[in-house]
Chains A and B, each alone.
Chain A
């Protein structure tokens, strides 16, 4: 089926070349980082994870978000999703590959990565994260490919594949739960040490993932003559709405616990993220604009995707609404959550993190690589779709 990715119009190739440019820049930047060390990033011994790990965390959510199509279709037999579950599965593959690239970019000794396999350590959450991420990647690749092949031959998919389809559903939940457990099981990091981290991650994932799929579906409708169907889009928007509100509810609960209990440790990071944290006469607030951006974009997005006129009558507004939600939760989880957790340090000092250009270009390059893979996968899926119709 790969041959479908090799035929396309000029725009297709221009888009791939555009992404390829950023990938090439990132490759050069990565080589620089590889030979110098992670000192080329803005990370320090106090903020020891930066945008690589925060992107990884966010993208695990995007990958898990695909299950919001798979679950209604296969468990509840919601037929309208039939045409687009493949979009969810392929988005999961691209997101997981981005996750792995971000992990590799973040490792101080990438060539030793296999040590995680050679010395399996069940008491480390990172070990389990590796297991579920690889598991979910393989499941999605397998299910996506087998079902698409069957579709192309216009036969029913083989029965055995359903075992893996159903297995992929708990796996989707597990990848983001285990990713949350990387953070919420660490003593002494008050902001992360919260039982609501995993549910919050899942809620924002189930909004951000489908939001991206809606945006993709709307774009594909214009550029690839692929219509996901009104009913499918509408149902997805409903899912996004509830999941997004659930995420905001959980964020609100964090605020309540911190500020009503008034325990300094529980408030510090929230203060730092949203209002700026005063320490020895200096106010540290470099993440404040991002967090208010998150709140504002959420409000804009939720208004656009719930108001009947913008939701049902105009694809552009709907797309913008979903993009706002996606971007809002990227700011929340892909910036604020991970970086904020390091402030203040265990010795109650404040060190702010600013990514370097080298680091930012690598990050952009990994995103570009993800969209490159996604474009090719979607091209194949839609190629098959058109072949059947013809």
Chain B
């Protein structure tokens, strides 16, 4: 009888464990099916693709490069809107420069895609780059105080009051998306937006995907500024019915240096 009881307990215990583990796996599969696997083309780093939480949002952006090539004024509009809303200072000296979103050539945005025989449009025009809001952000890993962190909706934010200004995140960011306040920025802000804090000297800042607007149900400032053209599309990557997911389904998109496994949330239609 003793052995029977022992065996029963063994089997019962094991099956309970299996049941617990099993449901977890099933849950993961079910939720995973709807999630955007912002994986890389080469498949590197796909194991990091674990989405934050079931049902959570994960914000991303699609940038239609061709539209920026056709209408260079779009870039200016987006930059202006962004820098206006976020009190980004305008320094004359390039060494003090702070930028959240800016225009650059394809070869600078995608240095890992060199091409000796580039088409003329790609060689001469510029496209916008900004923080990629990586799903696996090296800056968050490097920060010693959690001053840069990942919101549950995938946006990478900054706590300007906690940042000690060590600039480890700037060394860690493989996209050069971060800027530092080398001096007091306030005298260099033309029009102060009272709805968003200006920064003090000695802290790092970068694009925040307009988290303060997005979480209030609005669109990011740059997206809003070029909304007529649809050159920038912002949305929830975890919602299979969102506009951004529809675009991602239809168009071939690329990400900046995806082989690093950072899983960028910004996609480019070439």
B145 touches A347 (CB 8 A): no
B166 touches A187 (CB 8 A): no
A347 CB, nearest partner CB in chain B, Å:
4
B109 touches A126 (CB 8 A): no
Whole-angstrom CA separation of A116 from B168 in the bound complex: 13
* A36 in contact (CB, < 8 A): yes
* A189 in contact (CB, < 8 A): yes
Question: Given A186-B142, A186-B172, A346-B174 in contact, is the A109-B164 Cβ separation under 8 Å?
Answer: yes
* B147 in contact (CB, < 8 A): yes
B111 touches A347 (CB 8 A): yes
B257 CB, nearest partner CB in chain A, Å:
7
Residue of B nearest to A118 (CB): B145
A107 touches B202 (CB 8 A): yes
A112 touches B162 (CB 8 A): yes
Residue of A nearest to B162 (CB): A115
* B255 in contact (CB, < 8 A): no
A37 touches B97 (CB 8 A): no
Chain A residues within 8 Å of B172, by CB: 186-187
B165 touches A38 (CB 8 A): yes
List A97-140 residues whose CB lies under 8 Å from chain B.
103, 106-110, 112-113, 115-116, 118-119, 121, 123-127, 130
Contact of B163 among A49, A108, A186, A189 (CB under 8 A): A108
B171 touches A45 (CB 8 A): no
Question: Given A108-B203, A188-B174 in contact, is the A182-B168 Cβ separation under 8 Å?
Answer: yes
SS class of chain A's interface: helix, strand, loop or mixed?
Answer: loop
Chain A residues within 8 Å of B144, by CB: 115-116, 121, 124, 126-127, 130
Chain A residues within 8 Å of B163, by CB: 108-109, 112
Binds A, one of B72-80, B175-183, B216-224: B175-183
* A238 in contact (CB, < 8 A): no
Question: Given A44-B97, A119-B146 in contact, is the A109-B182 Cβ separation under 8 Å?
Answer: no
Chain A residues within 8 Å of B200, by CB: 109
* A39 in contact (CB, < 8 A): yes
Question: Given A124-B144, A188-B174 in contact, is the A107-B138 Cβ separation under 8 Å?
Answer: no
Chain A residues within 8 Å of B168, by CB: 124-126, 182
* B152 in contact (CB, < 8 A): no
B202 touches A109 (CB 8 A): yes
* A234 in contact (CB, < 8 A): no
Interface 1/0 per residue, B169-199 and A, CB below 8 Å: 0111111101111111000000000000000
Question: Given A124-B168, A188-B174, A346-B174 in contact, is the A43-B108 Cβ separation under 8 Å?
Answer: no
* B212 in contact (CB, < 8 A): no
B146 CB, nearest partner CB in chain A, Å:
5
Residue of A nearest to B129 (CB): A347
B175 touches A346 (CB 8 A): yes
* A278 in contact (CB, < 8 A): no
Question: Given A44-B95, A44-B97, A188-B257 in contact, is the A38-B180 Cβ separation under 8 Å?
Answer: yes
A348 touches B181 (CB 8 A): no
B111 touches A39 (CB 8 A): no
Question: Which 10 A/B pairs are nearest by Cβ-Cβ distance?
Answer: A108-B165, A188-B174, A108-B202, A39-B182, A37-B201, A39-B183, A126-B144, A346-B176, A348-B111, A37-B183
Could you show 6 A-B contacts with beta carbons less than 8 Å apart?
A38-B180, A45-B180, A187-B172, A346-B175, A347-B108, A347-B109
- Known: A116-B144, A124-B144; 4 extra A-B contacts, CB below 8 A, are A45-B99, A108-B204, A109-B203, A348-B108
